[in-house]
Chain A
Amino acid sequence: MAMCRSMPCLIWEVSPNLSALGVTWSTAPGTGAGDAPRGRGRRLVVEGLSFAYDETPVLQDISLEVRAGSVTALLGPSGCGKTTLLRVIAGLERPQAGAVRVDADTLSTPERMVSPERRRIGMVFQDGALFPHLSVAENVAFGLPRGSGQSEAVAEALALVGLTGFGERSPATLSGGQRQRIALARALAPGPELLLLDEPFANLDPMRRVELRGEVAALLQSLGITSVFVTHDQEEAFVMGDQVAVMNEGRVLQSASASELYGRPSSRWVATFVGEANLVAGRSSGTCAETPLGPVPLTEAAAGACEVLLRPEHLALEPGGGWEVERLEFYGHDSLYVLRDDAGRTLTARAAAAPLHHRGDRVSVRYAGPPTVAFPTP
Chain B
Amino acid sequence: MPRTLGWLGATARAAGFRGPPLLWLASLLIAALFAVPFSYLVVRNVTEGSEPLRTFFSRDTAEPLWNTLRLAVAVSAASAALGTLLAWLTMRTDLPFRWFWRIACPLPLVLPSFVAAAALLAALAPGGLAEELLSPIGLHAPTRIDGFWGAFFVLTAVSYPYVYLPAAARIGGLPPSLEEASRLLGQGGLATFRRVVWPQARGAVQAGTLLVFLYVVSDFGVVKLMGYSTLSTNIFLNRLFDAPLAFALGLVLAVVALTVAGLERAAVRGSLAHLAAGGVRARRVALGRWKAPAIGAVVLSVGTGLLAPVAVLAWWAYRGLANEAAGFDRAGGDLSALSEPALNTVLAGLVTALVAVAVVLPLAYLTGRHRSWGAGAVHIVVAGSFAVPGLLIALAVVFMALRVPGLHFLYLSFPLLIFAYVVHFGVQALRTAEVGVATVDRRLEEAAQTLGAGRLRRLLRIEVPLMLPALAAGGGLVMLSTMKELPATLLAAPIGFETLATRIWNANEDGFLADAGLAGLVLIAVSAALTWMLVIRHSEHLR
A-side residues, CB < 8 A to B, are 90-93, 115-123, 125-127, 129, 131-134, 142-143, 186-187, 190
Contacts and interface: CB of A to CB of B under 8 A. Distances in A.
A129 to B, nearest CB: 4
A142 B273 contact: no
Contacts of B184: 90, 92, 116-117, 119, 121-123, 143, 187
Interface string B151-190: 0000000000000000000000001011011111111100
A117 B283 contact: no
Interface stretch (B193-201, B306-314, B475-483, B522-530): B193-201
B173 to A, nearest CB: 13
B23 interface: no
Contacts of A117: 183-188
Pick from B177, B181, B283 the residue with the most CB of A within 10 Å: B181
Contact of B181 (A91, A93, A119, A125): A125
B185 A143 contact: yes
B273 A132 contact: yes
Given A129-B175, A187-B184, 15 more contacts: A90-B184, A115-B183, A117-B187, A118-B186, A119-B184, A125-B177, A125-B181, A127-B177, A129-B181, A131-B199, A132-B275, A133-B199, A142-B185, A143-B185, A186-B185
15 contacts: A92-B180, A92-B183, A116-B183, A117-B185, A120-B186, A121-B184, A123-B181, A131-B182, A132-B200, A132-B273, A132-B274, A142-B182, A142-B195, A143-B186, A190-B186
Contacts of B188: 115, 117
Q: Which 4 A-B pairs have the closest CB atoms?
A: A143-B185, A129-B177, A116-B183, A133-B199
Contacts of A115: 183, 188
Pick from A129, A131, A132, A134 the residue with the most CB of B within 10 Å: A129
A340 B482 CA distance: 76
A92 B185 contact: no
B498 to A, nearest CB: 50
A123 B195 CA distance: 18
Given A117-B188, A132-B275, A143-B185, A123 B180 contact: yes
Interface in B273-290: 273-275, 283
Q: Secondary structure of the A side of the interface?
A: loop
A127 B183 CA distance: 16
Nearest to B282: A92
A190 B196 contact: no
Interface residues of B, number: 20
Contacts of A93: 283
A92 B283 contact: yes
A93 B185 CA distance: 16
Nearest to B187: A117
Contacts of A190: 185-186
Contacts of A116: 180, 183-184
B272 to A, nearest CB: 10
Nearest to A116: B183
B285 to A, nearest CB: 10
Contacts of B175: 127, 129
Nearest to B200: A133
A108 to B, nearest CB: 14
A133 B182 contact: no
Contacts of A91: 183
Contacts of A126: 177
Contacts of B273: 132-133
B189 to A, nearest CB: 9
Contacts of B275: 132
Nearest to B177: A129
B199 A125 contact: no
A197 to B, nearest CB: 12
Nearest to A186: B185
A93 B283 CA distance: 8
Contacts of A123: 180-181, 184
B266 to A, nearest CB: 18
B353 to A, nearest CB: 33
Contacts of B199: 131, 133-134
A272 B348 CA distance: 66
A119 B175 CA distance: 22
B180 A131 contact: no
Contacts of B182: 131, 142
A186 B185 CA distance: 8
A205 to B, nearest CB: 17
A129 B180 contact: yes
Contacts of A132: 200, 273-275
B277 to A, nearest CB: 12
A133 B199 CA distance: 7
B183 A131 contact: no
Contacts of A186: 181, 185
Contacts of A125: 177, 180-181
Nearest to A125: B177
